[in-house]
């Protein structure tokens, strides 16, 4: 008997659950795109987008997904033949590197594997070795959604400064903005890329690039920045249409307005704290499951290097796929596939999964997902340690 009827829960690391408030805000006819309320709404969005990123710098909005955000950043950061240093701790760092390479950027990848964090000493050494300062920018993810590894951005900035290297620092916060603490200006980040469908709780369709005044001046007019991708007119438009290089993404803007209101009502530090607590709830459950069966383990051993919006884990093949299927069909909870850990044709692929806990998610959703996972382990005879749910409940109950 399936118990999946009722409201389903998409607990994958993006797109995230869309709040009813956001859906309702988007459900309207086309507004006037030349004058009136839409123009005022967009004027009000800009300061809130700066606030959520922790910057007084510029922001350019693109109609696109996260991949579009990468290309937008690449197009403005680099001229053809410029050099980039990419720090990869999972599939998403590698994919950003591929997009830059395909655009004609000379890319050097430092790959730290899929379960250990960026080694700041090695980054500093690589930058010191670049005596001619050919590297124009360092690209990295704050949280790589495939591995769930978090990169310590202030430490990275410190390593770049210690090396005395002038490269710009560009960070992909697609999985982490509005989930994990991020302070663009305080942390010395020059360029930041995000998208609206994860921590910002809006259906996929908007990408953002924030950039500092220093980055604007250093990048000038790149020969990769075709009219659609150039960030200048989007950030400082003379006319409304230049914000989008064409028609505005009208419904998305109403949705984003509502989502940013929700973040402001809760308060950004509280939003971060909620994600941190819910993440620790998930980690407590995995610790207990894994204590009874070493085949179950989170991908990242040290909690300090784990993102707060997604947890990547292994259950031993084929149990992760079996459990995902069971949770979706029997209980209405959809868990994320393992990404970049093994090719989908490899039997090992079926040993990995991810739990998304980003955006519009609260204690009962996270506890419910964990309880459903344990029910699935029991139903499927997947060996696991006892006490996961009481460990998870204790995190919520004590806040510790």
Ligand X SMILES: *Cc1c(COP(=O)(O)O)cnc(C)c1O
Based on the shown chain and the rule CB under 6 A, indicate whether residue 67 belongs to the binding site for ligand X.
yes
Based on the shown chain and the rule CB under 6 A, indicate whether residue 182 belongs to the binding site for ligand X.
no
Based on the shown chain and the rule CB under 6 A, indicate whether residue 289 belongs to the binding site for ligand X.
no
Question: Minimal distance in Å, beta carbon 197 to ligand X?
Answer: 6
Among 120, 175, 206, 337, binds ligand X (CB under 6 A): 175
Based on the shown chain and the rule CB under 6 A, indicate whether residue 332 belongs to the binding site for ligand X.
no
Two tokens, residue 311: 């947890």
Question: Minimal distance in Å, beta carbon 384 to ligand X?
Answer: 28
Question: Minimal distance in Å, beta carbon 387 to ligand X?
Answer: 31
Question: Minimal distance in Å, beta carbon 256 to ligand X?
Answer: 15
Please say whether the beta carbons of 198 and 15 come within 8 A. Answer: yes
Based on the shown chain and the rule CB under 6 A, indicate whether residue 66 belongs to the binding site for ligand X.
yes
Q: How many helices and strands (H and E) does the chain possess?
A: 13, 14
Among 65, 148, 202, 321, binds ligand X (CB under 6 A): 65
Strands (E), 293-366: 297-298, 310-314, 333-337, 352-356
How do 149-150 and 168-172 pair as beta strands?
unpaired
Nearest position to ligand X, beta carbon: 66
Residue 259 burial (C-beta neighbours within 10 Å; 0-12, 13-18, 19+)? buried
Specify the stretch interacting with ligand X by CB under 6 A; choose among 46-54, 141-149, 152-160, 281-289. Answer: 141-149
Based on the shown chain and the rule CB under 6 A, indicate whether residue 249 belongs to the binding site for ligand X.
no
Collapsed DSSP state (helix, strand, coil) of residue 170 = strand
Please give the size of the binding site for ligand X, defined by CB under 6 A: 13
Pick from 225, 223, 175: which is nearest to 358 by CA? 175
Q: Name the DSSP letter for residue 114.
A: S
Based on the shown chain and the rule CB under 6 A, indicate whether residue 203 belongs to the binding site for ligand X.
no
Between helix 37-53 and helix 250-266 the angle, nearest 10°, is: 50
109 in the Ramachandran plot: left (φ > 0), alpha (ψ -120 to 50) or beta? beta
Specify the stretch interacting with ligand X by CB under 6 A; choose among 102-110, 171-179, 227-235, 264-272. Answer: 171-179
Based on the shown chain and the rule CB under 6 A, indicate whether residue 49 belongs to the binding site for ligand X.
no
Two tokens, residue 275: 């994600």
How do 58-63 and 206-211 pair as beta strands?
antiparallel
Please say whether the beta carbons of 156 and 120 come within 8 A. Answer: yes
Specify the stretch interacting with ligand X by CB under 6 A; choose among 22-30, 62-70, 71-79, 256-264. Answer: 62-70
Specify the stretch interacting with ligand X by CB under 6 A; choose among 61-69, 100-108, 311-319, 386-394. Answer: 61-69
Based on the shown chain and the rule CB under 6 A, indicate whether residue 92 belongs to the binding site for ligand X.
yes
Based on the shown chain and the rule CB under 6 A, indicate whether residue 188 belongs to the binding site for ligand X.
no
Based on the shown chain and the rule CB under 6 A, indicate whether residue 259 belongs to the binding site for ligand X.
no
Taking the C-alpha atoms of residue 81 and residue 262, their distance in angstroms, rounded to an integer, is 43
Kindly report the number of other CB atoms within 10 A of residue 378's CB atom.
Answer: 10
Question: Minimal distance in Å, beta carbon 97 to ligand X?
Answer: 12
Peptide bond into 15 cis (omega under 30): yes
Among 16, 145, 148, 366, binds ligand X (CB under 6 A): 145
Among 204, 316, 318, 387, binds ligand X (CB under 6 A): 204
Based on the shown chain and the rule CB under 6 A, indicate whether residue 172 belongs to the binding site for ligand X.
yes
Among 14, 54, 57, 307, binds ligand X (CB under 6 A): 14
Taking the C-alpha atoms of residue 16 and residue 384, their distance in angstroms, rounded to an integer, is 28
Please provide residue 333's backbone torsions phi and psi, each rounded to the nearest 5 degrees: -110, 120
Based on the shown chain and the rule CB under 6 A, indicate whether residue 374 belongs to the binding site for ligand X.
no
Question: Minimal distance in Å, beta carbon 84 to ligand X?
Answer: 16
Taking the C-alpha atoms of residue 261 and residue 195, their distance in angstroms, rounded to an integer, is 17
Among 99, 141, 147, 212, binds ligand X (CB under 6 A): 141
**Interacting residue ranges for ligand X, rule: CB under 6 A:** 14, 65-67, 92, 141, 144-145, 172, 174-175, 195, 204
């Amino acid at each position: 008997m399936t118990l999946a009827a009722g409201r389903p829960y998409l607990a994958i690391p993006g797109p995230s659950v869309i709040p009813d408030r956001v859906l309702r805000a988007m459900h309207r006819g086309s507004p006037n795109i030349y004058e009136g309320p839409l123009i005022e709404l967009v004027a009000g969005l800009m300061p809130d987008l700066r606030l959520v990123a922790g910057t007084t710098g510029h922001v350019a909005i693109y109609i696109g997904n996260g991949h579009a955000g990468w290309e937008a950043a690449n197009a403005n950061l680099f001229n053809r033949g410029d050099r980039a240093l990419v720090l990869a701790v999972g599939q998403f760092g590698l994919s950003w590197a591929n997009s830059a390479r395909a655009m004609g950027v000379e890319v050097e990848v430092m790959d730290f594997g899929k379960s250990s964090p960026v080694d700041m000493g090695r980054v500093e050494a690589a930058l010191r070795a670049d005596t001619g300062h050919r590297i124009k920018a360092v690209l990295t993810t704050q949280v790589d959604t495939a591995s769930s590894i978090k990169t310590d951005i202030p430490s990275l900035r410190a390593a770049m400064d210690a090396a005395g290297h002038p490269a710009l620092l560009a960070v992909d916060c697609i999985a982490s903005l509005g989930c994990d603490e991020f302070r663009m200006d305080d942390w010395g980040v020059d360029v930041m890329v995000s998208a609206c469908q994860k921590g910002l709780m809006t259906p996929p369709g908007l990408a953002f690039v924030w950039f500092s005044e220093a980055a604007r001046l250093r990048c000038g007019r790149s020969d990769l920045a075709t009219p659609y991708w150039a960030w200048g007119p989007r950030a400082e438009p003379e006319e409304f249409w230049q914000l989008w290089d064409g028609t505005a993404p009208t419904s998305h803007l109403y949705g984003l307005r509502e989502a940013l209101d929700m973040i402001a009502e809760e308060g950004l530090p509280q939003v971060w704290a909620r994600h941190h607590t819910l993440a620790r709830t998930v980690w407590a459950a995995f610790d207990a499951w894994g204590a009874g069966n070493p085949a179950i383990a989170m991908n990242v051993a040290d909690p300090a290097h784990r993102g707060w919006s997604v947890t990547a884990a292994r259950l031993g093949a084929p149990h992760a796929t079996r459990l995902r299927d069971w949770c979706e069909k029997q209980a209405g909870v959809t868990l994320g596939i393992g990404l970049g850990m093994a090719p989908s044709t490899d039997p090992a692929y079926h040993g990995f999964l991810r739990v998304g806990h980003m955006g519009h998610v609260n204690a009962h959703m996270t506890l419910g997902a964990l309880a459903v996972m344990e029910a699935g382990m029991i139903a499927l005879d997947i060996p696991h340690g006892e006490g996961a749910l009481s460990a998870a409940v204790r995190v919520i109950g004590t806040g510790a």
